[in-house]
Amino acid sequence: MSRRRSAVPKPVIAGIRPILVTGGAGFIGCNLVDRLARDGHHVIVYDVLSRSGVEANLAWLKERHPAKITTMIADIRDRAALAEAASRAQAVFHYAAQVAVTTSMVDPIDDFDVNARGTLLLLDALRRRAEPPPLIFASTNKVYGGLDDIALDCVGDAYLPRDTRLRRHGVSEERPLDFHTPYGCSKGSADQYVLDWARSFGVPTVVLRMSCIYGPHQRGTADQGWVAHFVRQAIACRPLTIYGDGKQVRDILHVGDAVEAYLAAWRHSPKAHGRAFNLGGGAANAVSLLQIIREIEKRLRQKIKIAFEDWRPGDQRYFVADTRRAREELGLRAPLDWRNGLADLTDWLLQAEKPSPPSRQPASVELAS
């Protein structure tokens, strides 16, 4: 996973204080970098380029913003590289991570090393500055565990909480943390380190615990990015394998709304530092896997073949984020309706990818966050 790091070139203009985005060539990262560059900021894209498709994202960013983007190809575990990249940043958005539950089950040591230790190295680099810049951290709903204690009813093709208040608003930040799977533990540990660095060292940090983010530049795989994965499989006329019964519910959020939330967290970091906020589509965008599949079939005017397998460890039958705290304190707008967002993603994938020949073997999918 490690790659030789490339030196950070001097800023285009002397005295420029860039914004550092770790994992900046990834799905959410590249959307944020594009927005920051459009707003006139210089950005350091710090990425090891280990995931499929990120090279294309980076090329897209460089083509659109050649004078605003500085690239540093380096691993999040490279202490010297992190210190160099963070040395003059005016703000840091931290997306670099091992993102798949399945991978964490195979190699939990590497998962911990990237997610927990990598985050700690970044935090340590920031606290050593005379005036630490704000750090906005991408956490996950997996910090709340499997939510097995929530009584659910099966309503049509979706699981919904029996508790009417929970059904109306979703899971709030007051929910006790309960890490499941190595991925949940590593991201949860990083989540808590980020919050503590505000308390212990005065670093202005904000945590956003994300539900399912989707949209352009998401090249979903069987392990992560399930909304795009569904659409890609359908476009290619390939079958799906779903772990569980497909009635599990998530609140999905378009990446454009996620980017707005990260920028809002940065703007409000003086008063929001040391706080954690849920980030998702909320109850208005709560949808089951089967409902998503039906909408994809409608848009592509074709049937998707589905196979079902046993549930996977830590997979929540229901997670919907209570986003009221973020909306009120960060001033977030109402999110894009999931049907319109899905249409946007589908249009982008139809342009970005050519259908490949159908496969006899179904592709699998897991919900990571």
| pLDDT averages per 10-residue partition of the chain, 369 residues | 48 72 97 98 97 92 97 97 96 96 94 98 97 97 94 96 97 96 97 98 97 93 83 94 94 98 97 97 97 97 94 89 97 97 97 62 46
Which residues, 6+ apart, have CB-to-CB distance to 86 below 8 Å? 20, 92, 122, 125, 126, 129, 133
Which are the catalytic amino acids? 183
Domain extents for the chain?
97-365
Q: Give me the pLDDT at residue 12, please.
A: 45
- Cα 62 to Cα 51, 58, 65, 141: the distances in Å are 18, 6, 5, 32
**Alpha carbons 202 and 271: distance in angstroms, whole number:** 12
Read off the tokens for 139.
């956490």
Name the CATH superfamily, with its identifier, for domain 97-365. Answer: NAD(P)-binding Rossmann-like Domain (3.40.50.720)
**Alpha carbons 321 and 16: distance in angstroms, whole number:** 37
Q: Give me the pLDDT at residue 15, please.
A: 65
Strands (E), 38-193: 43-47, 69-73, 91-94, 135-140, 152-155, 158-161
Q: Give me the pLDDT at residue 347, please.
A: 97
Q: Give me the pLDDT at residue 358, please.
A: 52
Global pTM? 0.91
**Closest alpha carbon to 333 in 276, 267, 256:** 256
Radius of gyration of the chain (CA): 20
**Alpha carbons 141 and 210: distance in angstroms, whole number:** 6
DSSP three-state, residue 52: coil
